[in-house]
Amino acid sequence: MNMLNPLRTKLPRTADGERIYAIGDVHGRNDLLMRLLRLIVDHYPTLHPAPQRMTLVFLGDVIDRGPASAACLRTVSGLCESNAATMLLGNHEDMMLASLDGNPDAQAAWIGNGGLATLRSYGIDPPGPEEDSFDFAERLARGVPEDQVAFLRSLETTYRSGSYFFTHAGVRPGVALHKQEPEDLYSIRADFTESEAWHGAVVVHGHSIVDAVEMRHNRIGCDTGAYASGRLSCVCLQDDLRAVLQT
């Protein structure tokens, strides 16, 4: 299904001349990612005026849960390395990085929250019952290409365009955007999603699953639970225009 729902508002606006396609949590569904990228290609010439520059913003959690995390990471890292996209750090990428650093608590949390699917996609066995956390970390590092690990370690937590602020999970209400704690940016839930406060910009985020892209006065939620629902969504923003694309 291709849902195209243009909305016009007076505010907010992107930076002059910039069009952004902000993509929600992919979670290992490379099939849906390929389909959404084709929808974006088809949509691009239908929205006028043509932008001076276009940015794909992946809102984090590209890996885990779905069956093809390795392929998703290859796709997204390739787009970012060609300067066609930027990816933000999600809590699942953070757990994977901490697992690579040998953190046993992070490894347990990651394995229990979709990390097994990522291991399978790389052909890596899960931790053995007697395996030390650092031994598993070394084995994990041998199984994931070095360039992909370096890419994950390079990820930023935020992106800004005009009146829009992009991050994985949201922001801590009452805290200035430039003073946000990284853990809040990729992990916060109800304190942010249930807040009606103005945050200094419209926050575009994933992380908290909704049935359809959710547009509120202070935030836009883009995580439509792709790994289970089959609906991978993005919001297109240019000037004061908005449009939703969904697989």
The rounded distance, in Å, linking the Cα atoms of 50 and 67 is 36
The rounded distance, in Å, linking the Cα atoms of 32 and 55 is 19
Q: How confident is the model at residue 57 (pLDDT cuts 50, 70, 90)?
A: very high
Domain 7-90+157-246 CATH assignment equals 3.60.21.10: yes
Q: Residue 68: phi, psi to the nearest 5?
A: -130, 50
What integer pLDDT is reported at residue 11 of this predicted model? 77
Q: What is the pLDDT of residues 115-146, one digit of tens each?
A: 999 999 999 999 998 999 999 999 999 999 99
Closest CA to 92 of 2, 223, 233: 223
Closest CA to 114 of 102, 132, 126, 131: 126
Contact 197, 174 (CB under 8 A): yes
- Output 171-175 pairs: Cβ under 8 A, ≥24 positions apart: 171/199, 171/203, 173/197, 173/199
What integer pLDDT is reported at residue 97 of this predicted model? 98
Q: Residue type at 131?
A: E
Q: What is the pLDDT of residues 167-220, one digit of tens each?
A: 999 999 999 999 999 999 999 999 999 999 999 999 999 999 999 999 999 999
Task: Evaluate if residue 4 carries a pLDDT over 50.
Answer: no
